[in-house]
Structures are given as structure tokens and as C-alpha cells.
Structure 1
């Protein structure tokens, strides 16, 4: 039995290309982390609240390093949602960020 199953993932570069389209991007960091800087258009749903997500996907999930977003993506995929983890998270993000809510 595998403790850490693989989840669908994309790179930060792939996310940057996808942002040219209108996509659903969820940032699962805590509210204060999100306020400190996030990708424009991202929706903040902290990891503890991810079960409240009602979308169908595709949805892209990011956090600070990629660990929380991997957990959230696994949860969403388990609910039948077309979800993708952003590997490396905000630590590897090189695009523009917006501060505040």
C-alpha cells in the first residue's frame, strides 16, 4: 500500500502559460500567507476548508511549497474533481504577485 499516492501535477511554468486563459486557481495557504502575496485571480481556500469546494474543475491548486496543495489536490481528486497540484508552489513562482485579500 502506498502512503503517498501520485496526484496530477503541473509545473509553475505550465501554470504561467495557463494563466493566459481564464482558469480556476485555488491557493490553500492560510489567509495571512495569501494576503502577503498571491497570484492575481487566485481564490483563497485554506487547506482545512478545502472540503467546502464545490467546483467541478479543472482546478489548479497552489500553496507555499507544494505539500499542502498536494494534499488538497488528492482530496479533490478523491471527490471526483479534475484537480492539478502546482509543484513547487509559491516558492518557485516567478510571475507577478498581488498583496492583500
Structure 2
């Protein structure tokens, strides 16, 4: 059930870029979008497959997409599964750090 006033944890792309060490980053864009360029240690788990994600529930996961909308949805789904999930606001469209693949 969608909660209109639920507040999910979020950080900016700049905050993530400033500390990438030891972070679990999930990129919920499509495989094609991911191949066009992604954060080097990000794992591609498309939004339509996020329900199948299995990871360490003790470690926070940072979720990114292109603009922040799909990642926000994914965060809600992951939280229901017991993960500490943090949305990366602005997504890859705001990312100014190094990318792997693509261009």
C-alpha cells in the first residue's frame, strides 16, 4: 500500500560522490541505460527486477536511476523487504562524477 506521507531517506549525487567507499549502489535503470554509463561500483538491478534483489540487510543500499523517480519507488520496495535503502536524488542526470561504460 502506498503511503502518501512516508518519508524515505535520500542523499544528493554530490554527497554520494564525496564518499563512494564501501557503498552498495544499486542502479535500477534498464540494462541499456546502465550500459550507456554508470557509477563504477554500481550493480544493475532494473526496477522491474528489484523484488528479486538479495543482499546484506545490515548494509545500507544506495539506489540510483536516471532522475530519481524509479529509485524512489525501488527504495520503498526494498524497505518493505527489510533493507535500509537510500534514494540518490537527481539520479544519473545530476551525476558529475566518473562513469564507467557509455560515452
- Which runs of 4 or more aligned residues in structure 1 lie more than 6 Å from their structure 2 counterparts after TM superposition? none
User: How many pairs does the alignment contain?
Assistant: 99
Residue equivalent to 1:17: 18
Deviation, structure 1 residue 7:
1.0
Q: Scaled by the length of structure 2, what TM-score is found?
A: 0.89
Q: Secondary structure at the match of 2:86?
A: strand
Extract unaligned runs of 5+ from structure 1: none
Report whether the alignment pairs 1:47 with 2:58.
no
Residue equivalent to 1:31: 31
Extract unaligned runs of 5+ from structure 2: none
Deviation, structure 1 residue 3:
2.9
Which sits farther off after the overlay, 50-59 or 37-46? 50-59
1:58 to 53, 57, 60: 60
Q: Scaled by the length of structure 1, what TM-score is found?
A: 0.91
Q: CA RMSD in A?
A: 1.5
Cα deviations by residue, 1:34-88 (Å, 9 ceiling, x for unpaired): 0000010100000000011111131000000000000000111111101100000
Residue equivalent to 2:87: 85
